[in-house]
Structure 1
Amino acid sequence: MRIYTVDSFTDRPFAGNPAGVCLLDSPVPDAWMQALAAEMRHSETAFVLTRDDGPHSLRWFTPEVEVQLCGHATLATAHILYSLGASGRLEFSTLSGILTTDRSDDGLITMDFPASPPVETEAPESLLAALGVRGLWIGRSRFDYVVEVESADVVRSATPDLDLLRGIDARGVVVTARGDGTPADFVSRFFGPRVGVPEDPVTGSAHCMLSPYWSAKLGRDALVGEQLSARGGVVRTTLRGDRVELAGHATTIWSGTLDITPTVA
Structure 2
Amino acid sequence: MTQYTQIISNAFCEHSFSGNPAATIILDKWLPDDVMQAIAAQNNLPETTFLYPTDTKCEIRWFTPLKEVYMAGHATLAAAHTLNEHIAAGKKERISFSWRDGIFDVTREDDIYWMDFPCQNLSPLPNIEILKSITLNCVDAYHCTDTIIILPHIDDVISFIPNPEKLLELPGRGLAITASGYDSIDYVSRFFCPRLGVLEDPVTGSSHAILARYWAEKLNKKTLLAEQYSRQRGYVHAEVKDMFTRIGGRVRLFSNGTIHI
Contact 1:234/1:248 (<8 A) preserved: yes
Contact 2:226/2:235 (<8 A) preserved: yes
Equivalent residue runs for 1:44-193 within 5 Å: 44-54=47-57, 56-84=58-86, 85=88, 86-95=91-100, 97-105=102-110, 107-123=111-127, 125-130=129-134, 132-141=135-144, 143-179=145-181, 181-193=182-194
Letter in 1 for 2:32: P
Q: Return the alpha-carbon distance in structure 1 between the equivalents of residues 47 and 65 of structure 2.
A: 7
Q: Which moved more, 1:85-94 or 1:62-71?
A: 85-94
Q: TM-score, normalised by structure 2?
A: 0.92
Q: Return the alpha-carbon distance in structure 2 between the equivalents of residues 116 and 240 of structure 1.
A: 12
Q: Which moved more, 1:199-208 or 1:166-175?
A: 166-175
Once the two structures are superposed, residues 152-210 of structure 1 have per-residue CA deviations (whole angstroms, 9 ceiling, x without a partner) of 1100110121121123332110001111x232111100000111000001111111111
Q: Return the alpha-carbon distance in structure 2 between the equivalents of residues 119 and 94 of structure 1.
A: 28
**Secondary structure of 2:205 counterpart:** coil
Q: Aligned-pair distance for 1:112? A: 2.0
Contact 1:202/1:227 (<8 A) preserved: yes
Paired residues, number: 255
Does residue 6 (structure 1) correspond to residue 9 (structure 2)? The answer is: yes
**Secondary structure of 1:64 counterpart:** coil
Letter in 2 for 1:12: H
Contact 1:19/1:46 (<8 A) preserved: yes
Q: Return the alpha-carbon distance in structure 2 between the equivalents of residues 224 and 52 of structure 1.
A: 37
Q: Return the alpha-carbon distance in structure 2 between the equivalents of residues 118 and 128 of structure 1.
A: 21
Distance 1:197 1:253, change over 3 A: same
Q: Return the alpha-carbon distance in structure 2 between the equivalents of residues 111 and 202 of structure 1.
A: 15
In angstroms, what is the RMSD of aligned CA positions? 1.6
Query: Unmatched 5+ residue regions in structure 2?
Result: none
Q: Aligned-pair distance for 1:225? A: 1.1
Q: Return the alpha-carbon distance in structure 2 between the equivalents of residues 23 and 151 of structure 1.
A: 43
Once the two structures are superposed, residues 189-246 of structure 1 have per-residue CA deviations (whole angstroms, 9 ceiling, x without a partner) of 0000111000001111111111221112222221111101111010001112232111
Q: Aligned-pair distance for 1:258? A: 1.8
Amino-acid identity (%)? 36
Once the two structures are superposed, residues 80-99 of structure 1 have per-residue CA deviations (whole angstroms, 9 ceiling, x without a partner) of 11102341211112345432
Q: Return the alpha-carbon distance in structure 1 between the equivalents of residues 73 and 85 of structure 2.
A: 18
Letter in 2 for 1:200: D
Contact 1:69/1:96 (<8 A) preserved: no
Query: Unmatched 5+ residue regions in structure 1?
Result: 261-265
Q: Return the alpha-carbon distance in structure 2 between the equivalents of residues 129 and 110 of structure 1.
A: 37
- The answer for the alignment partner of 2:222 in structure 1 is 221
Q: Aligned-pair distance for 1:125? A: 4.1
**Secondary structure of 1:205 counterpart:** helix
**Secondary structure of 2:214 counterpart:** helix
Letter in 1 for 2:107: D
Contact 1:201/1:230 (<8 A) preserved: yes
Does residue 35 (structure 1) correspond to residue 35 (structure 2)? The answer is: no
**Secondary structure of 2:149 counterpart:** strand
Contact 1:10/1:249 (<8 A) preserved: yes
- The answer for the alignment partner of 1:239 in structure 2 is 240
Q: TM-score, normalised by structure 1?
A: 0.91
Distance 1:73 1:185, change over 3 A: same
Contact 1:173/1:191 (<8 A) preserved: yes
